[in-house]
Amino acid sequence: MIDAYTDRWALVTGASSGIGAELAPRLAARGMNLVLTARLEEQLHEPARELHTSHGTQTEVIVCDLSETDSPRTLFEEVSRREIDIELVVNNAGFGHVGQVEEAPLDDLHKMIRLNIEALMDLTYRFLPAMLDRGHGAILDVSSLAAFQPVAYMGVYSSTKAFVLHFSEALWAEVRDRGVTVMAVCPGTTRTDFFDVAGVPAWLQKHSSLSADRVVKVALKAMERRKQFVIPGWRNFLLSMLVRIGSRRTVVRESMKYFRPQKPTTKSDS
C-alpha cells in the first residue's frame, strides 16, 4: 500500500481520457503530485492547469506515445532527469480493436501488443526496483473483465488484458511482503467513448455499465487494501465466476453473440 499520498508522485499513463483522466483528480485530491503522459500534448496541459487550480498539486506533463519502440525507456529517463521519485505508477494507456479476422489491421494489432503488454511490462520493471528499495509504493494496472475469458472479435485485446491480469497477480505475490502493492483493476463495460469509436455504441445500451468515476473509486479502495485484483461491480464479478463454470468452448461461442462488431476500428486511451 502507498505509505502516504501527500506530496508523493504518481505517474498516470493514458491520462488524457477515460479512467486515466478520472483518476488524476482523485489522486490530486489526496495530495499527490502528478506526472501525466499521453500522445497528444494539447489534451494534457488544460487538465494539468485545472489540477493545480483545484488542488494546488504539482503537475508535470510528458508527451509520449508508449506504443512506439523504446518510448517507455524514454519516459522513465525523462522522469529521472526531472528528479521525481514515483510512488504510484498507473498503467492505464491502452487501446482495443473490434473486427472480423479478414479485416484486421495488422499494424494496429502489433501496436496494441506493444502498448497493452510491452510498455506496461517495461515501465513496471523500470519503476518497481526503487519502490522495493524504499519499502513502499504501488503499481495499478488497468486490465479488463475480458481478461477472464477469450472474446470473439476481440481476440488480441482480450489476450493482452489476460497478460496484464496474470502479470499483475504474479508480481503482487512477489512484492507484497516488501511493502509494495501491484494490483490489476478489471472493469467491465465502462461509460467512456471507447464503444462509440469502436463501432459498437449499442453495447452501452444493451449491457449494464459503470461510470469511470465508480471504477476509479473501487480501484483506489482495493489498492489501499492491498488486493491483488478487483472487479468493479457485483454483476461483473458474477460474470467472471460464470465463465469458469461453463466449458471454454461454450464461453467463447457465447461471446460471439455479444461482441459481434458493426464495423472494425480502434480506440486509443493513450
Active-site position among 5, 125, 157, 258:
157
The answer to whether 215 and 262 have CB atoms below 8 angstroms apart is no
Neighbours of 10 (CB within 10 A): 25
* Angstrom distance (rounded) from CA 23 to CA 8: 15
How many whole angstroms separate alpha carbon 270 and alpha carbon 266?
12
Whether residue 153 lies in the annotated active site = no
Which residues are bridge partners to 61 per DSSP? 36
Q: Which residue numbers are catalytic?
A: 157
